Amino acid sequence: MIKQKVRVKTFKIDDITVTGQSDQTVLEVAREHNIYIPTLCYLEGLSCVGSCRMCLVEIKGCRELAPACTSKIKEGMEVVTTSPDIQAHRNMILSMLFSERTHTCSVCVVNGNCELQDKTVELGLEHSLVPYLEQRFEIDASHKNFVHDPNRCILCTRCVRVCDEIEGAHALDLVDRGINTRIIHDMDEPWADSQSCTSCGKCVYVCPTGALYEKDISTEEKLKKTDIILNLIKSRKKDD
Ligand code: SF4
Ligand code: SF4
Ligand code: FES
């Protein structure tokens, strides 16, 4: 297979001239230049799936908003990261996430340590723009160390990707469709019965919400450890 040459591209983000490599995304280049774009499903070190749409940006000449985390950069492109239209889309996306599951922050184990909550505060969304669907899912507390509460899940698939791409276990997957989609262990077994789960806890550390959490520790201690991925990648490279 012929390897594509990586080239330097110059373009604009919010009228700031930036450069990046042709294999980079708009989000990666924006972060390198300290230009903030909100994200939820993206986590540095994991593959990008572009599922949450929190990172939507305007690209001049494109009729629709595009996710910055999966849009490759192009020479001369002009990207806008904030506008009333983008803000309205982000607020609607957040509202739909809140509507699909049950998020009562005041009684949530990760209240104060939650990326979904942070985004809501950051974007100034004070109430959901769509009605709540009042879905109820069974909580799986069978594992000796961890709990899975699908009622807090935003289906970002960080847990699925970290388990597959970093731990190499692929103990997690998605089942069902639409608002019934759930994260499952193996063939939809209780977590404690999963043959492929190594109990490493990586899925719990990268989950942005209270959908996966550790048992027997206080709310203050339920800090997520999303930097674990980059640290592991770095230390594995050193060992090679
Ligand atoms: S997971 Fe986050 S947004 Fe959902 S209830 Fe808990 S703190 Fe609130
Ligand atoms: S369990 Fe957590 S990490 Fe996994 S998809 Fe749901 S919100 Fe994302
Ligand atoms: S962060 Fe880009 S779509 Fe989720």
Burial tier of 154 (Cβ tally within 10 Å: 0-12, 13-18, 19+): buried
According to DSSP, the β-strands at 8-13 and 182-185 are unpaired
CA dihedral 218, 220, 224, 227 (to 10 degrees): -130
Measure the CA–CA gap between 125 and 132, rounded to whole angstroms.
Answer: 15
What integer best gives the mean pLDDT of the chain? 94
Task: Give the distance (Å) from ligand 3 centre to CA of residue 192.
Answer: 31
Ligand of minimum distance to the alpha carbon of 110: 1
User: 154 in ligand 2 pocket by Cβ < 6 Å?
Assistant: yes
How confident is the model over 34-45, as a mean pLDDT? 97
Distance from residue 216's CA to the centre of ligand 3 (Å): 32
Question: Ligand 2 test: best mutation among 47, 137, 157, most atoms within 8 Å of CB?
Answer: 157
- Compute the half-sphere exposure of residue 192: CA atoms within 13 Å on the CB side of its CA: 8
The answer to whether 18 and 28 have CB atoms below 8 angstroms apart is no
Query: Three-state DSSP class for 229?
Result: helix
> What pLDDT digit, counting tens, does each position of 110-154 carry?
999 999 999 999 999 999 999 999 899 999 999 999 999 999 999
For residue 71, count CB atoms less than 10 angstroms from its CB and return exposed for 0-12, middle for 13-18, buried for 19 or more. Answer: buried
Per-residue tokens: 29: 């280049």
End-to-end Cα separation, the chain, in angstroms: 25
What residues line ligand 1, using a CB cutoff of 6 Å? 103-105, 108, 110-111, 114, 116-117, 152, 209-210
Mean pLDDT, residues 199-210 taken together: 96
Ligand closest in space to the Cα of 111: 1
Helix axes 84-100, 115-122, angle to 10 degrees: 140
139 CA → ligand 3 middle, Å: 26
pLDDT mean over 50-73: 97
State pLDDT tens for residues 161-202: 999 999 999 999 999 999 999 999 999 999 999 999 999 999
Q: How far apart are CA 24 and CA 156, in angstroms?
A: 21
2 has pLDDT over 70 = no
The Cα 57–Cα 26 span in angstroms is 9
pTM of the model: 0.93
Nearest ligand, measured from the Cα of 115: 1
CB-count exposure of residue 148 (10 Å: 0-12, 13-18, 19+): buried
